[in-house]
């Protein structure tokens, strides 16, 4: 077993000790000793000690009613502190003997490979500058930690970073220790669970905070690294205005099944983003005005500053006044409709031009060393974030557009749109898109739902073009779904080209994606309205929930291949938008591996993907972490563009066809066809209780009903809590077993060795199986599941065991993650803290379900804390 780095072990031990002090100050030393007995019992039980198991169970059983919550909080808080220590360790100050981490060397090594492979320096520099990577921050309800706690956790991480300096004086080290002690005490005495659900505006503010506190610092540092690597490899520099990575958001724009996201909310979020951007730039300009006190300037700058003695400050003060006017206007517009005045910045060139003038002037006067400092950083931010901070996507379900059009056509006496077949719909939409007259008469009074759809389109029409990203249509399945949105936007007054993006989610829709796109491209006038790349979104979450990850992954791959081929044949640029989640069951995978496993040609200098829920914090919550992940994204997209993976061999494709067919059959036999499955799911997991957890602004269900009505996120989240992890592996065990029975062992090994797509799927399957735990899952069954349903639970755990066995056979290992002992040990270490939380959660669920009326607040709070703690321990919740 791999040893954890002594420095990481020391940090974890220190944080744990300080947490113990905070707990002891409130509950006394004996209570802390009881927590330690529980932890030691769990650790011994994991090693197979029956005595340890008995100690664990008896200690938990002996807890008084008022001890349940603090015990759950103690283990949950420790897991959060362990996360902080691990995150810090991945970015900690490097010692002279430490190797350069992969994210820091990935681009440099890639550039050397590309040069050796015959790519010219000039071509590489051009391609790097032209990369178009957009990370779309979403507020799906998987971020468990409250924002106030996240800020304290960031403070703890900063203190650990300061502690890494070897030359600290004793008094400085003591001050750091006191700072850590204070921050951990503050965290301990802060509720983990929100008292009420966040609003969509709260979620948007959380997204803005990630930019303010992390990405604002990380972005220019990341681009300095890219610039340095490019210069070292080719002698060429990154252009001043290059922005290979940009950011967008769904927070405040994603209304799919979320009645809380309205047109009013979307408008407010757009204005808040405008206010925040102006505020952040003002801080930069204030600093630059202090920095650029020199007199030497170019003729152009002197002329613009009216021959001022301090020409840079003069120009920057003019920009400062415009930023203040912009911020002031945005604040006023939040209260009432008010037109922007002449000083309000409306185009990003108005922000960039004076900054670039200062930059070129400094270089012209031999002061390039000054130009390359804070000024360059501000220019990089302005080129990336612009005046609107991040582009806001709009997302709505296709049925809402169809219902609105049905109401309109019914009002006009044309019949009901929803009752028409696809050719009739397309013909009607084409006629109206080409018509110069309005579709809606002024006398039309829409229903509330239709009014909301139309109001959203008007907000899009009124917003500056650079502030809006794409309009995404969830559950898209036909060409009419795209045309319907184009018509509604036209009716609202949208006169510019706007990317209207079909999102293909279910297995059937993914298979139908290529024919739908072919139909769209063949329609008269459609290409003229396109005016840019054709964007298509690939759904991972709902396709996996619909068909299991085996069939879904292959359907996603095939759909991308076909879309690439169609657009290449038609001479249309294609932009694929990947709707990935954090978990394996929702398409999650390390970004670098995931990008390199895409079909050849699907990443052609462009890549768009969602960053969801708690993964935003884990990947971008600290500037150094964000830098690492931005480096990985850029290197992977460049490699996938210039060194795409091989196309699968015909034998691999045939094998994958069989695996997918066997996988979906096995998956649906359990999830859809087993008569007891839905009831078992509701008894064995905290699915019902998750609806009470105030995570995000969206409801847990799209509508009333069974598993099909659940959103993909709580579906995954519920199974994660019990450690069965069913959605991520169900179907693979049967698919792989049947392949082995057909004698395809060697072929599977060949696929894993030479096909990045298949290798990544097996690696992710192995990772999730390492986190799964049949023993823990059985505890939920024993306490919560009725006798007649327990055989189903045993059957599912047997399938889990089969999945583990077949993956071990395929990878020729004696235990999961043998090739990555550090990861295995990290998971193992957490079990001593996770096991008590699982046992507590089982007991709390049983007690909660035993109440016929309202359960005690302390019981509900303890239950929600257990959910948050397990989520923290497993890291990727939903």
Q: Taking the CB of residue 166, how many other CB atoms lie within 10 A of it?
A: 7
φ and ψ of 533, to 5 deg? -70, 150
Angle at alpha carbon of residue 432, lines to 428 and 434, rounded to 5°: 120
User: Taken in order 159, 162, 165, 170, is the CA torsion positive or negative?
Assistant: negative
Spot the catalytic one: 43, 163, 401, 545. 545
DSSP 710: B
Query: Are 352 and 383 spatial neighbours (Cβ–Cβ below 8 Å)?
Result: yes
Angle at alpha carbon of residue 725, lines to 721 and 729, rounded to 5°: 170
φ and ψ of 720, to 5 deg? -65, -40
DSSP 744: -
Spot the catalytic one: 43, 88, 140, 838. 140
Bridge partners (DSSP) of residue 503 are 537
Where do the H-state alpha helices sit in 673-789? 677-684, 687-690, 712-722, 726-729, 732-741, 745-754, 756-771, 774-784
Pairwise CA distance, residues 844 & 69, whole Å: 10
Pairwise CA distance, residues 315 & 394, whole Å: 37
- Across 494-525, b (16+ Cβ under 10 Å) vs e yields beeebbbbbbbbbbebbebbbebbebbbebee
Identify whether 89 is a catalytic site residue.
Answer: no
Pairwise CA distance, residues 236 & 658, whole Å: 49
Q: Say if residue 447 is exposed, middle or buried (CB neighbours under 10 Å; 0-12, 13-18, 19+).
A: exposed
User: Taken in order 520, 524, 526, 527, is the CA torsion positive or negative?
Assistant: positive
* Residue for token pair 């990089």: 380
Q: What SS3 class is residue 142?
A: coil
SS (H, E, C) 536-596: EEEECHHHHHHHCHHHHHHHHHHHHHHHHHHHHHHCCCEEEEEECCCCHHHCCCCHHHHHH
Q: Taking the CB of residue 51, how many other CB atoms lie within 10 A of it?
A: 10
Pairwise CA distance, residues 817 & 832, whole Å: 19
- Residues in the chain, overall count: 878
Radius of gyration of the chain (CA): 28
Pairwise CA distance, residues 277 & 389, whole Å: 5
Identify whether 140 is a catalytic site residue.
Answer: yes
DSSP 757: H
Q: Which residues carry out catalysis?
A: 140, 545
């Amino acid at each position: 077993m791999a040893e954890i780095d002594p420095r990481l072990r020391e940090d974890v031990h220190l944080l744990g000790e300080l947490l113990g002090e905070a707990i002891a100050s409130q509950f006394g030393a004996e209570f802390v000793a009881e927590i330690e007995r529980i932890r030691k019992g769990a650790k011994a039980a994991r090693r197979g000690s029956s005595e340890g198991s008995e100690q664990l169970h008896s200690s938990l059983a002996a807890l008084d009613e008022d001890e349940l919550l603090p015990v759950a909080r103690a283990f949950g808080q420790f897991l959060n502190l362990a996360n902080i220590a691990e995150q810090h360790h991945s970015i900690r100050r490097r010692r002279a003997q430490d190797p350069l981490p992969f994210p820091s060397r990935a681009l440099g090594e890639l550039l050397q490979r590309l040069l050796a492979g015959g790519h010219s320096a000039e071509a590489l520099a051009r391609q790097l500058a032209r990369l178009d990577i957009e990370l779309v921050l979403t507020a799906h309800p998987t971020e468990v930690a409250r924002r106030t706690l996240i800020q304290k956790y960031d403070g703890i991480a900063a203190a650990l970073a300061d502690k890494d300096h070897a030359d600290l004086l004793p008094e400085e080290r003591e001050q750091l220790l006191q700072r850590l002690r204070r921050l951990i005490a503050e965290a301990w005495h802060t509720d983990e669970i929100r008292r009420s659900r966040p609003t969509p505006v709260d979620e948007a503010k959380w997204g803005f905070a990630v930019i303010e506190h992390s990405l604002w610092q990380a972005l220019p540092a990341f681009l300095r690294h890219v610039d340095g690597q490019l210069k070292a490899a080719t002698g060429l520099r990154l252009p001043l205005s290059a922005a290979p990575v940009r950011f967008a958001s769904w927070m405040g724009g994603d209304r799919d099944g979320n009645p809380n996201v309205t047109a009013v909310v979307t408008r407010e979020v757009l204005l808040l983003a405008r206010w925040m951007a102006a505020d952040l730039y003002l801080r930069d300009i204030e600093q630059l005005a202090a920095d650029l006190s020199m007199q030497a300037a170019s003729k152009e700058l002197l002329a613009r500053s009216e021959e001022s003695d301090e020409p840079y400050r003069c120009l920057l003060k003019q920009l400062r006044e415009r930023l203040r006017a912009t911020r002031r206007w945005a604040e006023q517009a939040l209260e009432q409709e008010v037109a922007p005045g002449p000083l309000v910045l409306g185009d990003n060139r108005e922000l960039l031009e004076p900054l670039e003038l200062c930059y070129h002037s400094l270089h012209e006067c031999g002061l390039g060393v000054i130009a390359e400092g804070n000024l360059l950083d501000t220019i990089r931010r302005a080129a990336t974030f612009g005046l609107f901070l991040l582009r806001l996507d709009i997302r709505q379900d296709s049925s809402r557009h169809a219902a609105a059009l049905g109401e309109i056509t019914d009002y006009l006496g044309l019949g009901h749109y929803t009752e028409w077949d696809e050719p009739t719909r397309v013909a009607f939409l084409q006629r109206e898109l080409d018509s110069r007259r309005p579709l809606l008469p002024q006398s039309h009074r829409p229903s509330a739902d239709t009014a909301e759809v139309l109001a959203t389109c008007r907000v899009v029409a009124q917003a500056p073009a650079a502030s809006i990203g794409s309009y995404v249509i969830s559950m898209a399945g036909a060409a009419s779904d795209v045309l319907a949105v184009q018509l509604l936007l036209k009716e609202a007054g949208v006169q510019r080209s706007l990317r209207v993006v079909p999102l293909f989610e279910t297995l059937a829709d993914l298979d139908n994606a290529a024919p739908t796109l072919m139909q769209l491209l063949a329609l008269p006038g459609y290409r003229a309205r396109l005016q840019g790349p054709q964007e298509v979104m690939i759904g991972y979450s709902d396709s996996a929930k619909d068909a299991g990850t085996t069939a879904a992954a292959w359907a996603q791959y095939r759909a991308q291949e076909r879309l690439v081929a169609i657009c290449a044949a038609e001479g249309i640029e294609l932009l694929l938008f990947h709707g990935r989640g954090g978990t394996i069951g929702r398409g999650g995978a390390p970004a670098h591996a995931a990008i390199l496993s895409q079909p050849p040609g699907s990443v052609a200098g462009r890549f768009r993907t969602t960053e969801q829920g708690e993964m935003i914090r884990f990947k971008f919550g600290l500037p150094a972490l964000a830098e690492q992940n931005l480096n990985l994204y850029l290197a992977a997209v460049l490699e996938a563009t210039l060194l795409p993976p091989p196309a699968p061999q015909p034998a691999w494709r045939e094998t994958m066809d069989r695996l997918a067919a066997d996988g979906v059959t096995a998956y649906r036999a359990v999830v859809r066809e087993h008569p007891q499955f839905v009831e078992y799911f509701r008894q064995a997991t905290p699915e019902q209780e998750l609806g009470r957890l105030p995570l995000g602004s969206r409801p847990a269900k799209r509508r009333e009903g069974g598993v099909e009505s659940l959103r993909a996120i709580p579906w995954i989240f519920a199974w994660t809590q019990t450690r069965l992890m069913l959605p991520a592996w169900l179907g693979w065990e049967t698919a792989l077993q049947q392949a082995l029975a057909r004698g395809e062992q060697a072929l599977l090994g060949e696929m894993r060795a030479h096909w990045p797509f298949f290798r990544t799927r097996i690696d992710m399957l192995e990772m999730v199986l390492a986190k799964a735990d049949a023993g823990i899952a059985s505890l939920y069954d024993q306490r919560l599941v009725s006798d007649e349903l327990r055989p189903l639970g045993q059957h599912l755990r047997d399938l889990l065991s089969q999945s583990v066995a077949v993956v071990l056979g395929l990878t020729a290992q004696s235990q999961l993650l043998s090739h990555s002992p550090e990861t295995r040990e990290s998971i193992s270490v957490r079990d001593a803290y996770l096991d008590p939380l699982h046992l507590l959660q089982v007991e709390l669920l049983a007690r909660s379900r035993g109440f016929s009326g309202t359960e005690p607040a302390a019981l509900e709070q303890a239950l929600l804390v257990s959910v948050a703690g397990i989520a923290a321990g497993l890291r990727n919740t939903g």
